[in-house]
Structures are given as C-alpha cells and as structure tokens.
Amino acid sequence: MVANSEFFMNLALKEAWKYQGLTYPNPAVGCCVVSESGAILSVEAHKKAGLPHAEVEALKSAYFKLTNDEFILKLTNSADIHKYLIQNHNGIFKNCSVYTTLEPCSHIGKTPSCADLLSLLSIKKVYVGALDTNPEAACGNKKLLDADIEIQNGVLEAKCKELLYPFERWSKDKFVFFKWAQRLNGTYDGGIITSKESRKNVHDMRDKCDLLVIGGESVRIDRPTLDARLVDGKAPDILIYSRKSEFDKTIPLFKVEGRKVIISDNLDIIQKYKNIMIEGGANMFEATRDIVDRYLCYIAPKVGGSKVFNTNIEEFEILNILQDDKDIIMWLSSRQLIDEHNLG
C-alpha cells in the first residue's frame, strides 16, 4: 500500500459515503487535508444541508491539528468557520494539499464559496475527483487557478463520479433506490434483523426521501409505521404498490400525520417525486428493476430464518461497503444497468 494521491482521495471518498443519501439538496462530498510532508491533517465530509461543506469541515479540523487552538472547535456555523480561518490562519496552510471528491464550489449560498476560502488560505495544491456540472456551483477550479493554486483533476474520477451519481440523478430528474435488509444467509423474516445503528440510518434516509414505495404484502404482514422517529425526522409520503386497494387503516403507517398515502398498482406516481426509496423483498425487487438507480443493502451478520430474498439473477457491482457497530451497509449498482450505460 502506498500513501499516494489515490490513497488520500480514497480516505475522502470513504468518509463521504457515510453520508450518502443524507445531504440533499447538496451532494455527498469528502475532503482530506495533507501537510507538506505528507501527513494526514484531517478527513471530513459534508454531513447534512445547512452544515459546513466537506472542505470547510476538513480545514477546520486541519487548523486545530496544526494549532491546537480549541476555539475553532466551538464554531459550527460555516460562515463563522470561514471568517475565523481567514483571520487566524497565519499562512499555516501554504504548503498543504487538499483532496476533494468534487470541484470546490464557487457560489455563495448558505455558506461562502469553498474555492474562495481555499484561495484565501493559500493552499498549495487542490486534487479534484469529479468536476462540478451544476452551473450554479461550478467554476471553482477557475477561481483556484486565478489564485495561483495548482490543480490536479481526475484523481479517482470514476469513483468520485459514482459518489456523486445519486445527487446528479436527483438534480436532473429523480433518484430511485431500492433498500433491503437481510441476514447473512439472505433471510428477512422473523422480526427485527439489523442493529439500532442501521435502523437509525434507514430512518435518516427516510427523513430525506419524499416518497417511500412498499409492497402491499409487506404492509399487510409487517403492519409498519415507516416513519423517521429514530432520528426525529419527517415521514415521507407512501406509495403502497398493490393491486388490491383494501387495507386495514389501523396499520400504523396510515396514522402518521402530514403524510400522503397512495395505494396503486401503477408506479408512474413516482414521477411526481424526487428522492424515492423502495423498501421490500424479492417481489418488489423484481417489480422495480427497471426504475431503480442504485441498491442499498443492510446485512446483519447472522444466519437463521427461513424466508429468503429469492429473485431472478442480478449481478451487482459493490460501490461502497460501510461497517457500522455491527452490520454491513452496502451501496450497489446493477451490472446490467452499467452495461446498458456503456452500450448507450
């Protein structure tokens, strides 16, 4: 293993994937700051809309590592961190390199521009994974060049584009992902399967979704709530995908306030939504193959159970594996989809 630019970019990528799906209306981005001698000063990610961008989080941590100035740790607002760094950096970043999975933003939105911040701190070199195709935020590289900062584009570009893909789909149209949870041996019957940590992550995802699609059979058998209570989040609208429209309305999901519940055997309703999670088992998996952009699989390291995720063959590419305190959380893409894209 060699600690080269791919290694540092990979650290930024791994950190960013932890927050995949949780950053809308912003993309998931990771950032790593490295000293002149090659020491890792920080690795951070953008965690949530309203919180600082990845670059700002990483520069804050790097500043603390270099100065031990605890004052900055109290600052959580992006504008405050920008201001404090600009006033107090004293040139400590001048030989540092920054690895960012996405071209630094150039527009001033909820926070000042990251490209401006990097320029003002006289960063030596910025390694960029994917270029920003969002016209509002792009041109960060141009600002960096104008400030005489070296740029190296395309470091682990394919991986960085993959990290960005859900956001790009979401911005241009909508992002649809299929989520399932299972034991190691593919079973998903018999009560709660995954750890509390994993279920919190699912609730966090639900909070960021506007529509959750679920099969009628799951609703009848599991009588779910399908809200985001574990993170005090907002419950998404529900599409119960079912030919029969009769449901016992005492099932908890119908009682969640402020949500719409649609019962339909027509998936076209998803066209009205932007961030769509499909939850379910093998039947929903089969029914939604043509509309799913990415898959999200939670695996609890157990065997046992009897009802299995039995489907026709589908091959995946593993995009990221995350291990929480207990389970595996894995983002996947269909190989068929990849092949079709390559043909197209």
Q: Is 77 in the site for a copy of itself (CB under 8 A)?
A: no
Q: Is 338 in the site for a copy of itself (CB under 8 A)?
A: no
Size of the site for a copy of itself (CB under 8 A): 47
- Rank residues 201 and 275 by Cβ distance to a copy of itself and give the closer one: 201
- Rank residues 42 and 275 by Cβ distance to a copy of itself and give the closer one: 42
x/- letters, 257..286, toward a copy of itself (CB under 8 A): ----------------------------x-
Q: How far is the CB of 190 from a copy of itself (least distance, A)?
A: 9
Query: Burial, 283: exposed, middle or buried (Cβ in 10 Å; 0-12, 13-18, 19+)?
Result: middle
- Rank residues 64 and 247 by Cβ distance to a copy of itself and give the closer one: 64
Which distant-in-sequence residues (6+ apart) come within 8 Å of 205 by Cβ?
21, 22, 179, 277, 296
DSSP 8-class letter at 301? S
Q: Is 38 in the site for a copy of itself (CB under 8 A)?
A: yes
Q: Is 252 in the site for a copy of itself (CB under 8 A)?
A: no
Spatial separation of the C-alpha atoms in residues 100 and 149, rounded to whole Å: 14
State the CB neighbour count (10 A cutoff) for residue 183.
Answer: 20
- Applying CB under 8 A, which part among 105-113, 185-193, 217-225, 229-237 lies near a copy of itself? 185-193
Q: Which of 70, 306, 341, 344 binds a copy of itself (CB under 8 A)?
A: 306
What DSSP element (H or E) covers 262? strand 261-264
Q: Which of 25, 39, 197, 271 binds a copy of itself (CB under 8 A)?
A: 39
- Comparing CA positions, the residue from 43, 105, 41, 51 lying closest to residue 75 is 51
Phi, psi of 81 (to 5 degrees): -65, -45
For residue 275, the number of C-alpha atoms closer than 13 Å in the C-beta half-sphere is 23
Q: Which two tokens stand for residue 33?
A: 């700051």
Q: Which of 73, 108, 158, 303 binds a copy of itself (CB under 8 A)?
A: 303
Coil, strand or helix at 240 = strand
Q: How far is the CB of 195 from a copy of itself (least distance, A)?
A: 11
Residue 22 one-letter amino acid: L
Q: How far is the CB of 160 from a copy of itself (least distance, A)?
A: 18
Q: Is 184 in the site for a copy of itself (CB under 8 A)?
A: yes
- Comparing CA positions, the residue from 281, 337, 284, 283 lying closest to residue 314 is 337
Which distant-in-sequence residues (6+ apart) come within 8 Å of 255 by Cβ?
none
At what angle are helices 78-88 and 54-67 packed, to 10 degrees?
A: 40
Q: How far is the CB of 171 from a copy of itself (least distance, A)?
A: 27
Query: Burial, 220: exposed, middle or buried (Cβ in 10 Å; 0-12, 13-18, 19+)?
Result: middle
- Rank residues 39 and 221 by Cβ distance to a copy of itself and give the closer one: 39
x/- letters, 120..159, toward a copy of itself (CB under 8 A): ----------------------------------------
Residue ranges in 154-183 that form contacts with a copy of itself under rule CB under 8 A:
182-183
Phi, psi of 278 (to 5 degrees): -105, 125
Q: Is 313 in the site for a copy of itself (CB under 8 A)?
A: yes
Q: How far is the CB of 37 from a copy of itself (least distance, A)?
A: 4
Q: Is 187 in the site for a copy of itself (CB under 8 A)?
A: yes
- Within 56-119, strands assigned E span 97-102
- Rank residues 85 and 297 by Cβ distance to a copy of itself and give the closer one: 297
- Rank residues 113 and 218 by Cβ distance to a copy of itself and give the closer one: 218
Spatial separation of the C-alpha atoms in residues 20 and 27, rounded to whole Å: 8
Given the rule CB under 8 A, which residues bind a copy of itself? 1-3, 7, 11, 15, 35, 37-44, 61, 65, 182-187, 285, 297, 301-306, 308-318, 321, 323, 326, 328, 332
